[in-house]
Amino acid sequence: MPMSQSPRSLRQVLSGDDCLTASSAFDPISARIAHSLGFEVAVMGGSVASYAVLGAPDLILLTMTELVEQARRVCRAAPLRLIVDADHGYGNALNVMRTVQELQAAGVAGITIEDTLLPRAFGSLPAAQLVSLEEGVGKMKAALRGRGHGDALIFGRTSAASISGVDDAIRRLQAYEAAGVDAIFVPGLKRRADVDRIADAVKLPLILGGGSEEIADPQYLASRGVRVWLWGHQPFAAAVKAMVDTMTAIRDGATPGALAAAAPEALLKHYVDAAGYDAFTRDFLS
């Protein structure tokens, strides 16, 4: 398949000067599409992994094993630098170690570990809660120990900015930086003022998830030390909409030629690498 080839590792991306826009990836086909379109970095969120594997909301119903297997499928399909949202590490600090070991073995380039209290505790709805700073630091140290001498990068993540405020987010991120993580992952920032405060408070590269039109400027983000930015998981949402539209049209009697949302056969064959498998068939079965 005519995919872009980039020799840069995720570590090299983070040490550069640019802010890369990452693609969302949730299965082998989405990974191949992202890579063929020139994305160097992709993010598999816990939410879209839960959608794709279970058809369930992001409530930590997905198990660590299911997350790892989906990540393995994505990594096997395309040579993307895949960042995986490992949520809270699927338990305490010891579980974090195991999660990191398994994801690294699956070929993941970067792993985020967050300090949100997950699954949500009884009586906590609708507000999310955070674990203590001490427990968060322990999880970051456990993630680093779990990585050992491997190549996977560990990203300290907190949603404190939207839960307990930017001041607490800075306190936590500085502690995770001191613990030795490779970069900082911050979701949900919408104001430049908040990006600026966090960028001024930490020295590590930043990865942002989500955002707003106010911060949607790669040049500005690059100037503030943001090296990877993910708008969100719109590709999965678009795929769901296309499937609903196509199935509705079929139910209502549309012919195949009238299905505007359906990929042409040639495009579908391209992304399942039909030509490659035809060659394998000739080489080994004829």
- Looking at residue 190, which CATH number applies to its domain? 3.20.20.60
Residues 181 and 262 in one domain: no
**Which percentage of the chain shows pLDDT scores above 70?**
98
User: Are 191 and 277 part of one and the same domain?
Assistant: no
What is the residue range of 257's domain? Answer: 240-285
140 and 70 in one domain? yes
Distance of CA 136 to the CA centre of its chain: 20
Is 268 within a domain?
A: yes
* Residue 148 in domain: yes
Q: Domain check: are 86 and 191 in the same one? A: yes
Domain C-terminal end among 192, 210, 233 = 233
Q: Assess whether 266 and 163 both reside in one domain.
A: no
> Where does 107-192 show beta strands of DSSP type E?
110-114, 153-157, 183-187
Nearest to 231 by CA among 16, 57, 73, 41: 41
H or E stretch covering 120 = none
**96 and 40 in one domain?**
yes
Cis peptide before 126 (omega within 30 of 0): yes
Q: Is 4 part of a structural domain of the chain?
A: no
Looking at the structure, tell me whether residues 77 and 155 fall in a common domain. Answer: yes
Residue pLDDT, tens place only, 212-234: 999 999 999 999 999 999 999 99
pTM: 0.95
Instruction: Tell me the pLDDT tens digit for each residue of 139-190.
Output: 999 999 999 999 999 999 999 999 999 999 999 999 999 999 999 999 999 9
Q: Which residues contact 9 (CB under 8 A, 6 or more apart)?
A: 81, 109, 151
Q: Which helix (H) or strand (E) holds 83?
A: strand 81-85
8 Å CB contact between 65 and 100: no
From 233, 253, 272, give the residue that closes a domain.
Answer: 233
Q: Verify that 91 and 145 share a domain, yes or no.
A: yes
pLDDT over threshold 80, residue 286: yes
Helix (H, G, I), strand (E, B) or coil at 202: coil
Residue 269 has pLDDT above 90, yes or no: yes
Q: Are 150 and 160 in contact (CB under 8 A)?
A: no
Which residues have a Cβ under 8 Å from the Cβ of 159 and sit 6 or more positions away?
114, 116, 128, 130, 187, 188
Q: Are residues 57 and 178 in the same domain?
A: yes
- Looking at residue 56, its amino acid is A
Kindly state whether residues 154 and 41 are assigned to the same domain. yes
| 113 assigned to some structural domain | yes
Report the DSSP beta bridge partners of residue 114.
157
Judge whether 2 lies within some domain.
Answer: no
What is d(CA 39, CA 62) in angstroms, rounded to the nearest whole number? 27
Assess contact for 46 and 66: CB atoms under 8 A.
Answer: no
Whether 228 and 248 share a structural domain = no
Number of domains the chain contains: 2
At 3, is the pLDDT very low, low, confident or very high (cuts 50, 70, 90)?
very low
Query: Residue 1 falls within a domain, yes or no?
Result: no
**245-255 pLDDT per residue, tens:** 999 999 999 99
202 within some domain: yes
The predicted structure's pLDDT at residue 4: 42
Same domain, 229 and 256: no
